[in-house]
Amino acid sequence: MARKIDQQLALQGGLKAVSTIEGRGEPKIGIEEFMSVAERFGFSAKTLAKMREAAEAEDLGGGPFLANYYSNLPETKVKAYERLARETFGAKHAIGVTSGTAALNCAFVAAGVGPGKEVIVPAVGFFATAAAVVHSKGIPIFCDVDESLGMDPRKLEALITPRTVALAPTHVMGTVCDMTAIMRIARKHKLKVVEDCAQSCGGKVKGRHVGTIGDLGCFSISAYKIVGGGEGGLILTDSERLYERCQGIAECGGLWRPDRFAPPRYKGELFCGTNYRMSELEAAIDVVQLRRMPATVRRFHNVKLRILKQLKTFREIRPQTLNDPEGEVGYSLRFFPETIALGEGIVEALSAEGIGCGMRGKHGAPDWHIYHDMFPITTQTGATSDGCPYTCPLYTANGGKVDYQRGDCPTADDLFDRNISVGLNQWFTAQDCRNIAKGINKVLAAYCTEDPQAKAWI
Ligand SMILES: Cc1ncc(COP(=O)(O)O)c(C=O)c1O
């Protein structure tokens, strides 16, 4: 007997068991999520109510799908941010990641950092650079700085060992490193260069953006930076191979590969990484921030140069060396008084003049911008009790032994404490700049000896 049609398998011509779905839900991401973002911007209750009314009148269909992959958009916000980064900085590859530290971790692994390997990092910069070396299972070796507060190229070669694989100059506080000298040494010793540009996004050396001079450039795109949403990062490189290795860490699923499940195209292509994929919401902010970056940097730069050009020179004052004045971002103006005592007087007097400034001094609180305070590194404390990577046999059996003490980098020890920093604002007018220059000249003239032969500001 023929089975009833509704009992017959659909495969055999019967009726489909599920021909329609009646359940109609709300989009996964909808008005409430949009309002939550709007709230974070700090709009008034009245504006929020108007926004909600306007948003609710829209048909969002299934709502947005906020993924950076498998998206039906022609270009996701992350892709737009990466494209803009390539165009803005002039790099072949750009990868948006979750933070500057994530960018550094990717770059170090890409550069070959691992057990038994050393990376030379600056004594002044930020903890994250050295910490990312450790997180990549390598050993950071601190290099002293010069009066630019950047890595001193004259001190570099003495630190290079057979274990060194990379140099990681940090462009500190809106200034740029002596990249010409650093690159010369790196090439001579066949070392990779990972530039940490977190503090100097938009800075240039001889017209080239920092982050594009070394093999890899890393940026923090956090709220505190020149380009910053909340938490984000960026990696730049011109090298296809380094780009793929960074992706291997940043996106362990291999979604970036032309064919995700294809066998390795070359030895070492595939390895286990993690997930540092940038979020679409972060990229939505950062793409706008990055578009604004050149104008922001131009304003900061002009303010700094305008003030510097009006400053007189003084015997007891050494201005920070500017490796490339034209490439300065310029959100702070720095100089070194002969002594901390003199500096304390100058800071007090400048503050009384209405000029925002500071100096760490002798009894400053611990600060992760100077190597000897980077305690989880200086104490060689690892995540496990065996002391890895400092005690790794691949390191020790190869002659590796490290010991971190205040005094290792005497110039950094000295300059970091007596470094007066005047904060600059991109929106200072020409008159503001004149007033600030006048105030600095007035104070320095009261405490020091004017001397046309003393070190110039630029
Ligand atoms: C020089 C430097 N490198 C790396 C980082 C870390 O960036 P993030 O906070 O985005 O991880 C910072 C942050 O301030 C920094 O100043």
Alpha-carbon span 456 to 145, nearest angstrom: 19
Span from the CA of 101 to the centroid of ligand 1 (angstroms) = 6
Atom of ligand 1 nearest to the CA of 232: 10
Class for the domain spanning 77-289: alpha beta
Alpha-carbon span 192 to 242, nearest angstrom: 10
Reduced to 3 states, what is the DSSP secondary structure of residue 424?
A: coil
Which pTM was predicted?
0.95
Where does ligand 1 bind, in terms of residues with CB under 6 Å? 99-101, 125-126, 128-129, 170, 196, 198-199, 220, 222, 233
Span from the CA of 268 to the centroid of ligand 1 (angstroms) = 29
Domain ranges for the chain: 28-64, 77-289
Atom of ligand 1 nearest to the CA of 125: 1
Q: What is the pLDDT along the chain (458 residues), one digit of tens a residue?
A: 556 777 899 999 999 999 999 998 888 999 999 999 999 999 999 999 999 999 999 998 889 999 888 888 889 999 999 999 999 999 999 999 999 999 999 999 999 999 999 999 999 999 999 999 999 999 999 999 999 999 999 999 999 999 999 999 999 999 999 999 999 999 999 999 999 999 999 999 999 999 999 999 999 999 999 999 999 999 999 999 999 999 999 998 788 888 989 999 999 899 999 999 999 999 999 999 999 999 999 999 999 999 999 999 999 999 999 999 999 999 999 999 999 999 999 999 999 999 999 999 988 899 999 999 999 999 999 888 888 999 999 999 999 999 999 999 999 999 999 999 999 999 999 999 999 999 999 999 999 999 999 999 99
Atom of ligand 1 nearest to the CA of 101: 11
The residues, any chain, with a CB within 8 Å of residue 397's CB and separated by 6 or more, are none
Mutational test site, ligand 1, from 199, 225, 285, 289, max ligand atoms within 8 Å of CB = 199
Query: Token pair for residue 323?
Result: 């490796």
Alpha-carbon span 117 to 454, nearest angstrom: 43
Q: In what order do the strands lie in the sheet with 332-337?
A: 317-319, 332-337, 420-423, 357-358
Alpha-carbon span 329 to 300, nearest angstrom: 6
